Structure 1
Amino acid sequence: MSNKQGPAGVELSPPPTGLEAEYETLFTPEALLFVQELISLFDEEVDEVLRLRASRKAHLDLSGELPKFLKSTAHIRLDPNWRVGPVPLRLRRRHVDVGDLAPCDTERFIQALQSPAQGLQVDFDDGNCPTFHNQIKGIHNVYKAAHNHIPNVPHISRAPVLMMRPRAWNMVEHNMMVEGKQAPGPLFDFGLLVFHCGRTLFANNSGPFFYLSKVENRLEAKLWNKIFVWTQQKLGLPLGSIKATVLIENVLAAFEMEEILFELREHSAGLNCGIWDYSASFVNKFGHRQAFLLPDRSKYVNMEKRFLRSYMDLLVQTCHRRGALATGGMAASLLPRDPLSDSHQRVLTTVTRLKLLEIQAGVDGFMVYDMNLIEPMQKLFQRFTEGDNQLHQLRTDVTVSHEDLLAMPLGGVTLFGLKYNIAVGVLFIDAWLTGKGHFFYRGQVEDSATAEISRSQVWQWIRHGAQLEDDQRPVSRELVVLLTSGVLRELSASCHSVRAKQRLHTAADVFLEVVLKRDFPAFITTYLNEEHTFLNAHQRTQLEIVDKSKL
């Protein structure tokens, strides 16, 4: 089938097999025109965002400087009077959201809509592999939910509120060309979601609400604000209808939290903190510096450490003094099904302890992956808080300096932690090659955030020759290759076909390629997205060789 021709300057790949009806529903002439105008207007500014990121990174590398709170925006931070727009009614009590909810997984999406969660992170980013099939299926499922076309789920005005998370700036949509360029992934996702669902969600007091991933500074927030203003005018929505929660997933953004809220103040639903993407950003920005050697995450990195605790405290203080909601990270643990088992109680105790830390810090809500954790965590909120949220907790006791935000935790590297990081990195790439954005390993859900910190740590430990606590061996190329072979043998034991085993070997090859690179790839998802076609072709070639050898 040939490419679909939309308005002048738009080319679209044909529909994936089996999704022809969904494709026709989404890519109407009106929708294509809207997305084309959106991309044409803001495409250059998206490119500028990425160039400014590279420029900032180069400046930090060349100068040796470290980020600080900006003098040029001190007037924003010092002005006590401004606030973000009022929190919409449906966002005021969102203690527990379901996270990593890739909406292309129809069964899990429906289960989440039927769950007692107060919100759903409808994730086209970290927990999702953005194949054309997954994007179309996922956006169409959101469309059906918004328009009450899914049987046996509550009306959209009563269902858990949809917090839609488009891809981050670094991702592109290979299947749409606008004026000779591949479409920015976030504008493709946002455009289709808001065009098809925005007015309906607004009419039902249920949005449109978004999560914004991997924002690094106030200028990126300012661009999203411009996009929101234009969109509302175009769709006939009142100013401030769109609300967005910004995920503070980058160390540079931690120094501009108030400025980010200020730029989005009519459209802000608050800020979110999450441990692994944020920790990985230290390696991204400063990983070549010995002073920023991040120790073993499995042993030494958690929200009780100074650099992460300071970040969470500052985020809560910043949000609440400006009338915005502060949300915590996601509990990735999977709860064993037998409620009488020791393992069930052990996991529940661990999750409870970690989430209580966030509640006591003043967060207004957080996420869980396992839906069996929703009600226990809601009860935890009710036991330790009063009312819909904790906006009254202004955290005037908090004073956070730039030294606090940059204080690396003490600790070394363990053989267990190194092997764990290798396994997570390999399995994430393997999942990606099957079109999945997350997987399960040792009682946890793992996604691109944990893959980022895993491959970041291995790259950095090789770069600095970090020594293993176990036997003082340095982490080297030779050791990582050796351990990857061992991990591969363990993981291959559970492969049930030649195809699965070959794919796993391909994933291991790509993982080694990433962690041994001279220059650190900024995002593993970008790396895989740009090489996805090659990897699939390579995989097919290898399978053909294997199949022929069996004849």
Structure 2
Amino acid sequence: MPLDRNAATLPPVVLRAVAGGDHVLTPEALAFVAQLQARFGLRLHALMVARARRQERIDRGELPDYLPHTREIRHGIWRAAPIPAALADRRVEIIGPPDRRTMIAGLNSGARVFLADFEDGTAPGFARIVAGQANLIEHRDGTLEHDDPATGKRLRPDPDPALLIIRPRGLHLSEANVLIGGQPVSAALFDFGLSLFHCGRALAATGRGPFYCLPKLESHGEARFWNDVFLFAQERSGLAEGTIKATVLIETLPAAFEMDEIVWELRDHIAGLACGRWDYVFSYIKTLRNHPAYVLPECTQLAMEDAFLAAYAARLVKVCHRRGIHALGGMSAAIPTPGDAGANEAAFAQVRADKTHEVGMGFDGAWVAHPDLVPVARAVFDAGMHGPNQIARPRQEWRVEPAMLLKPHQGTITQAGVRLNIETAIEYLANWLQGRGTVSIRGRIEDAATAEISRAQLWQWIRHGAEVETGQGPRPLTADWLGELVQAEIVAVLERLGPAGFHRGHYASAARIVQEAATAATLPDFIIPAAYDVLNALD
């Protein structure tokens, strides 16, 4: 790959030694990452400051709205660049962390796309991040394989595997184990830069990439940032303009008001928008944290067919099809239970209902978390979608006003719901600290979004004195009562695992992180950065 003629003047790179690093963290690859950081690091910092300032305005009473100065973009007649043939059909996509076993299972699942998730589905210990990049290189070279100890078989990708899309970490995260000029490198630029350097030209040569999924964007300014990163990276890599294609996850409330603008900024590189509904609910709570009118009921009562979630999904389909790109539905996180036919049929029925609703709305595909759900979801899209996608199916009759994107769901908060949030957040984070980014909890595959929404709801209910139904009358949730419930959960885990399992599982650290986030004076933007410090210490 051509390097910048001024590469010798770039700041020094300091990194933690890790197995496999000599294959992934080559001087040339790190020089490319350093170029990205030098070129875009300060600009990225300014975007994070802009996020904080917007949140301050909302905290003071300003509500999200469509931007008046971009009205011509929203109402203009224009379309994004054509979608590559390899991305024309995305009816079922499967997502998972980039470890060998999961990658091969996803690539062989029968899904159209396997999304290698370095973000919410990965606990970002440095060894796991580097190993994930090494697995991408082996997939590039056709040498990816895994010896399955359970069966004694050697697993390899099929001759015609699913298309690979890579999800780097969000713009708000840093990679603490790589210092450039004495400062941690952007995790997003690190993940993107390494994968593009090592695999970009090989994927482009076959017409199967490089393709990315961009998480946690909050504004069209952040989309412009990624577009400029793509232009710079393509020029440095010798790739033609527009080679990189990206799907943007609309999983923050501010981004829902700027969908057209996000597509416009990435119009030469965008392939679609996707619903990230659990993260979206979390962002709704976080963005409107100071406003008591937007307190939500417990998660089990937040249906995609109602209130702000329904408006969000409708707007995403409308914008995508008007601009000639894919609209991807949400994740079906249900997983089969071995030996339990009744539970499995209930899970499959839930997925069928979910996907039937999405294909009826006009979505062109959706995500699942387990290979056994691929044929279930595919059957629904095969029956309801005549052709590789529904982009030609307009939804211009839907008019989505700002108030519709803010309308809260109605429902109740029960003591069982509070306990479920506590249990789920602690269980997920304890597993995350052990290195597992995707965790099976109560028959569902959960990722970091689950911990975020669980603790954010606890904070919101305490902050606004939400009434909890206890069976003996309503009772407001307080920090003291939450402390008692957290302690009860710790006792339950101790009884289940014993002292050795409790401490080995890092449940005390997980409980502390959850309780501190749920009782903070101001709702923390994210819980994962605090947990990341603990993860690095444990590493």
- In 2, distance between residues paired with 1:293 and 1:14? 43
Q: Which residue of 2 aligns with 1:110?
A: 104
- In 1, distance between residues paired with 2:326 and 2:493? 41
Q: Which residue of 2 aligns with 1:325?
A: 326
Q: Which residue of 2 aligns with 1:196?
A: 198
- In 1, distance between residues paired with 2:481 and 2:43? 43
1:417 aligns with 2:417: yes
1:140 aligns with 2:134: yes
1:117: how far off?
Answer: 1.2
Residue 512 (structure 2) aligned to one of 503, 509, 513: 509
- In 2, distance between residues paired with 1:162 and 1:527? 30
- In 2, distance between residues paired with 1:155 and 1:444? 27
RMSD: 1.7
Does the 8 Å contact 2:90/2:112 carry over to 1?
A: yes
The 3-state SS of whatever aligns with 1:303 is coil
Amino acid at match of 2:378: Q
- In 2, distance between residues paired with 1:301 and 1:189? 33
Q: Which residue of 1 aligns with 2:79?
A: 83
Superposition pairs for residues 330-369 of structure 1, below 5 Å?
330-338=331-339, 341-369=341-369
Does the 8 Å contact 1:229/1:239 carry over to 2?
A: yes
1:130 aligns with 2:124: yes
1:504: how far off?
Answer: 1.1
Change (3 A) 1:473 1:524: same
Superposition pairs for residues 255-266 of structure 1, below 5 Å?
255-266=257-268
The 3-state SS of whatever aligns with 1:388 is coil
1:492: how far off?
Answer: 2.9
The 3-state SS of whatever aligns with 1:191 is helix
1:237 aligns with 2:239: yes
Does the 8 Å contact 1:10/1:176 carry over to 2?
A: no
- In 1, distance between residues paired with 2:493 and 2:354? 30
- In 1, distance between residues paired with 2:365 and 2:156? 23
Comparing 415-424 with 497-506, which one deviates more in the overlay? 497-506
Residue 529 (structure 2) aligned to one of 526, 529, 536: 526
- In 2, distance between residues paired with 1:351 and 1:155? 26
- In 2, distance between residues paired with 1:506 and 1:529? 12
- In 2, distance between residues paired with 1:487 and 1:440? 18
- In 2, distance between residues paired with 1:288 and 1:431? 31
Superposition pairs for residues 311-322 of structure 1, below 5 Å?
311-322=312-323
Post-superposition Cα deviations, 1:60-101, rounded to whole Å, max 9, x if no partner, equal 223x11111111000111111x111111111111111112x1
Does the 8 Å contact 2:169/2:215 carry over to 1?
A: yes
Superposition pairs for residues 437-476 of structure 1, below 5 Å?
437-470=437-470, 471-476=473-478
Q: Which runs of 5+ in 1 are unaligned?
A: 1-5, 538-551
1:71 aligns with 2:68: yes
Residue 159 (structure 1) aligned to one of 148, 158, 161: 161
Residue 59 (structure 1) aligned to one of 57, 60, 68: 57
**Equivalenced residues, count:** 520
The 3-state SS of whatever aligns with 2:475 is coil
**TM-score with structure 2 length normalisation?**
0.93
Amino acid at match of 2:395: R
- In 2, distance between residues paired with 1:271 and 1:358? 14
- In 2, distance between residues paired with 1:149 and 1:486? 49
1:514: how far off?
Answer: 1.2
Q: Which residue of 2 aligns with 1:47?
A: 45
**TM-score with structure 1 length normalisation?**
0.91
Q: Which residue of 2 aligns with 1:548?
A: none
Q: Which residue of 1 aligns with 2:484?
A: 482
Amino acid at match of 2:69: S
Amino acid at match of 2:266: L
Does the 8 Å contact 1:327/1:363 carry over to 2?
A: yes
Amino acid at match of 2:127: H
Post-superposition Cα deviations, 1:336-395, rounded to whole Å, max 9, x if no partner, equal 3448x2222111111111121111111111111111010121111111110101111211
Does the 8 Å contact 1:247/1:271 carry over to 2?
A: yes
- In 2, distance between residues paired with 1:10 and 1:134? 24
Amino acid at match of 1:434: Q
Amino acid at match of 1:25: H
Q: Which residue of 1 aligns with 2:152?
A: none
- In 1, distance between residues paired with 2:303 and 2:369? 18
Q: Which residue of 2 aligns with 1:431?
A: 431
1:390 aligns with 2:387: no
- In 2, distance between residues paired with 1:61 and 1:416? 30
- In 2, distance between residues paired with 1:496 and 1:481? 21
1:499: how far off?
Answer: 5.0
Comparing 89-98 with 146-155, which one deviates more in the overlay? 146-155
- In 2, distance between residues paired with 1:65 and 1:348? 42
The 3-state SS of whatever aligns with 1:186 is helix
- The runs of at least 4 aligned residues of structure 1 exceeding 3 Å deviation read 151-156, 499-502, 530-534
Q: Which runs of 5+ in 2 are unaligned?
A: 1-7, 146-154
- In 2, distance between residues paired with 1:402 and 1:487? 40
Comparing 488-497 with 356-365, which one deviates more in the overlay? 488-497
Post-superposition Cα deviations, 1:191-223, rounded to whole Å, max 9, x if no partner, equal 000000000011111100000000000000000
Does the 8 Å contact 1:35/1:187 carry over to 2?
A: yes
- In 1, distance between residues paired with 2:497 and 2:37? 42
Does the 8 Å contact 1:7/1:29 carry over to 2?
A: no
Does the 8 Å contact 1:492/1:504 carry over to 2?
A: no
- In 2, distance between residues paired with 1:496 and 1:383? 50
- In 2, distance between residues paired with 1:193 and 1:292? 40
Comparing 312-321 with 272-281, which one deviates more in the overlay? 272-281
Change (3 A) 1:59 1:116: same
The 3-state SS of whatever aligns with 2:497 is coil
Amino acid at match of 1:455: R
- In 2, distance between residues paired with 1:505 and 1:38? 38
Comparing 144-153 with 83-92, which one deviates more in the overlay? 144-153
1:438: how far off?
Answer: 2.1
